[in-house]
Amino acid sequence: MILTYKIKHGMDFSDELSKAKLVAEHALKTKSRSSADVADIGLKSMISNQILKKYSSQKKLKRISNVNLAIPNQGIKCDQIAREIYIPCLNLRLNYLFPNNFSKINQIEINKEYCMIAVHIVDVDCLKTDGFIGVDLNTTEHIAVVANPSTGKVKKLGKKCYHIHKKYSRMRKHLQHLGKFSKLKRIKNRESRIIRDTNHKVSRAIVNFAKQNNKAIVLEDLTGIRNNKKQKKSFKYALHSWSFYQLRQFIVYKAKLLGVPVIFIQPQYTSQMCSRCGEIGNRQGKTFKCQHCGHVDHADANAAFNIAAKAWLIADKTEIAAKGTLISPKRKCA
């Protein structure tokens, strides 16, 4: 697995960056891959080579705006004990705080402000899990509701995200109306930082919960829903489009780092079905009521139990079944 970390370099590379742009323009125009052709531009050949490789094969790109400096693995020295990265050709030293669990640095890209460090992480063996926790992701109220059918425990996470989205959406509309665009951009950035931070915390809590309970994580496969044209226009879709997607990505990669399996199930009926008797019930706001068995539950918790239960239907087709012993879940009935 490859993860990318971003750190500020605090240097002025404007000269190198403008040279990089010239190299990229040359590559795009001539499709040349030879660094001898661009030697007169004066960029280090190791960096030129990376840029030539990237831009000479671009077919659709017509105009180049920003070109990053790209340093391959051979041009990077890394001392994992001292937590120091050294790039000799730029005389750049960086100290890093991100986890030391990588086997090598694949590449570093540098722009005006940041270094994007792509590290290779050796895959951890999948844990032998003995069941599933269902995770229901939402755009209203709590962004994630987790249910563990074997204990009946429910965890509700990230309530403030919805309020942050609403608050910032109002602020954005107001600023747009006033035409204060630079302030609008600042507000947007601040909102993304807060949501990102919450998504990190929520995904961490979900993955830790799964690991502690020795369970695989079950998520809804929403690829079909995300492409739904009707939803694209709605306010809810605006939430879906990045913060929702980001949270899912965080869960998946953090799970992978700890060897916690993640399973995707089809989302049909997960919110309408009663998690106790399997009949279709009534959902009103955040309350779920089943007329058939009288079960009453928080709607998202009911959905999360359904999500976990659905994984058992496909469990025999997944690797988890082969690796772990599956024990039928005990349902907690209200």
Residues at the interface with Zn ion (CB under 5 A)? 274, 276-277, 290, 292-293, 295
| Cβ–Cβ < 8 Å for 71, 87 | yes
Strand order of the β-sheet with 2-8 is 2-8, 114-120, 104-110, 69-72
265/290 with CB nearer Zn ion = 290
75/134 with CB nearer Zn ion = 134
Tell me whether residue 141 is one of the annotated catalytic residues: no
| Cβ–Cβ < 8 Å for 331, 152 | yes
Query: How far, in Å, are 77, 90, 121, 166 from residue 243 at the CA level?
Result: 35, 36, 25, 13
Of the candidates 101, 22, 36, 73, which has an alpha carbon nearest to the alpha carbon of residue 259? 101
1/277 with CB nearer Zn ion = 277
208/282 with CB nearer Zn ion = 282
Distance CA 120, CA 108 (A): 12
Pairing of strands 104-110, 69-72: antiparallel
Question: What residues contact 251, with CB distance under 8 A and at least 6 apart?
Answer: 135, 203, 206, 207, 217, 219, 262
Tell me whether residue 316 is one of the annotated catalytic residues: no
Residue 294: CB minimum distance to Zn ion, A: 7
Q: How far apart are the first and last CA of the chain?
A: 42
Catalytic choice (16, 191, 220, 297): 220
Catalytic choice (16, 191, 297, 300): 300
Phi, psi of 50 (to 5 degrees): -65, -45
Residue 237: CB minimum distance to Zn ion, A: 31
170/292 with CB nearer Zn ion = 292
State the residue for tokens 């929403």: 222
Of the candidates 202, 198, 206, which has an alpha carbon nearest to the alpha carbon of residue 168? 198
Tell me whether residue 300 is one of the annotated catalytic residues: yes
Catalytic choice (16, 136, 191, 297): 136
Residue 277: CB minimum distance to Zn ion, A: 3
Residue 309: CB minimum distance to Zn ion, A: 13
Question: Which tokens is 275 given?
Answer: 């998690």
Residue 292: CB minimum distance to Zn ion, A: 5
Distance CA 157, CA 65 (A): 40
Residue 291: CB minimum distance to Zn ion, A: 8
Catalytically active residues are: 136, 220, 300
